[in-house]
Structure 1
Amino acid sequence: MIALALASVWTWAILLDKSFFFASLNRRSEQFLKTFRNSSTLDEAYAKVQNEKNHPLINIFKSGMEELRLSLTPGAAAHPELRAHVEDRTRTAMEITEAAESQRLGAGMGVLASIGSVSPFVGLFGTVWGIMNAFIGIANTQTTNLAVVAPGIAEALMATAIGLVAAIPAVIFYNKFARQIGDFNNRMNGFVGEFQTVLSRYLDHKV
């Protein structure tokens, strides 16, 4: 029961951490996208966020810009063959960063999944064990007096209750954050496509 109580506390700690994390994440995402879309060039947008870090969209953008600068010499013309290589390399660099950021977003989800799936069975095991001890107590005392066995049975049932208290929030929070992670993954993927569109226009001026 102590382990189940700790699992419940852990679940709520993850809830608070993830809630604040996603609130900050979405707020900074809106700020970055506004900066990106209001910039006249990719270089201008890069200069504005160059010193920022620890945000998925910014990290994806910076990886694309760094690969662009490595692949295309400033002032150089982007002939068709080079252009294709630049676009492929920047997309690959951004997708690698996107995959890493997606994995980072999922931190703690495995804990919620484990608590949600295991806690009811742990609680049920505690209940079965407690009821077994209650029946053993009945046999030892050779009495069916409810006052003798009630405390043991009540404690056994409490194990199931605590298991459900730990499991139900874990399942709810897992589903909630899974949806948010999925939504943000779509947002990152959409940004990669948006960057490629802007990059294509950028390279048009380099031809």
Structure 2
Amino acid sequence: MDAIVNTDPASMSMIGLFLHANIVVKIVMVGLLLASVWTWAIIVSFAMKIGGTRRRTETFERDFWKAEDIDAFYRTHSNSDLPVAKVFGAGVSEWRRSTVGGSVDRDGTRERLATAMGASVAHEIDKMSDRLNILATVGSVAPFVGLFGTVIGIMDSFTRIASAQNTSLAVVAPGIAEALFATAIGLFAAIPAVIAYNRFSHGINKIEAALNRFADGFHATLSRQLESER
């Protein structure tokens, strides 16, 4: 029976596993680590963006419903990059175009207002969720990339066994450890990406609901103003 030989602890560390891995496994590991860094950069920026957008949206809505002069409020916020301000601006612009003449088509104006603000909501949500597809891609692909590294590492282990004609742990362990390390990096990249994707999707859905509520409320306000005009 082959004796079990102790493996050098330094070579079994994370850095040691990377340095002793073959070139294919190294490429897989580096790619997954870069994907992980990219994922965390998106997570941090997205968390700040969504949190700030929600707070500013609440402030905008509160100020809007307190405002007595819509035109003055529009002039103040016309250059804002806030999604709710864009929806508001789309409604005001369509209102002005539809009511510029002497005779106003009330039903047509209502329909155009709803269409303009609905399109603005969809456009702003698309802009906000633009980079979510990266998280979805990393979350779904990274485990399989790690699995590819695992397969390569195990194949390398069998190659070492065949070359050395020795089945001791010292021969088999490094390749298996490299394989498992590639899998671990794949999961390290994928798990935060999946969690963040689900969390941010929920946050964007809440912002979309808030934009739609504002659009509906503003549409109702303009509809009442249409009814009051002769």
Q: Which piece of structure 1 moves more, 173-182 or 196-205?
A: 196-205
TM-score, length basis structure 2? 0.84
Which one-letter code corresponds to 1:132 in the other structure? M
Deviation at 1:19, TM superposition (A): 0.8
CA distance in 2, matches of 1:71, 1:61: 15
Q: Which amino acid aligns with 1:127?
A: T
Listed as ranges, the gaps of 5+ residues in structure 1 are none
* Equivalence map 1:113-128=2 (5 Å): 113-128=136-151
Which residue does 2:84 correspond to in 1?
Answer: 57
Number of residues of Structure 1 aligned to a counterpart in Structure 2: 202
Match of 1:31 among 59, 68, 84: 59
In structure 1, C-alpha distance between the alignment counterparts of 2:100 and 2:202, rounded to whole Å = 41
Q: In the alignment, what sits opposite 1:169? A: 192
Larger radius of gyration: 2
Distance change >3 Å, CA 25–CA 57, structure 1 → 2: same
Name segments (4+ residues, structure 1) moved above 3 Å: none
- Give the counterpart letter for 1:101 in structure 2: E
Amino acid of the residue matched to residue 171 of structure 1?
Answer: V
The alignment yields a C-alpha RMSD, in angstroms, of 1.4
8 Å CA contact 1:137–1:149 kept in 2: the answer is: yes
**Aligned letter for 1:110?**
N
List runs of 5+ in structure 2 lacking aligned partners: 1-28
Give the secondary-structure state (helix, strand or coil) at the position aligned to 2:46: helix
Q: 1:196 aligns with which of 210, 219, 225?
A: 219
- 1:112-171: CA deviations, max 9, x gaps? 111111111111111111011111110011111211221121111100000010111011
Q: CA deviation at 1:44?
A: 3.2
- TM-score if structure 1 supplies the norm length? 0.93
CA contact (8 A) 1:119 1:164 kept: yes
Partner of 1:206: 229
1:20 Cα deviation after fit: 0.9
Partner of 2:75: 47
| Partner Cα distance (2:150, 2:128) in 1 | 36
Name the % identity: 44
Instruction: Please say if residues 64 and 94 of structure 1, whose CA atoms lie closer than 8 Å, have aligned partners that are also in contact.
Output: yes
Q: Distance in 1 between matches of 2:73 and 2:112?
A: 20
Give yes or no for contact 1:123–1:161 (8 Å, CA) kept in 2: yes
Counterpart contact for 1:77–1:206, Cα < 8 Å? no
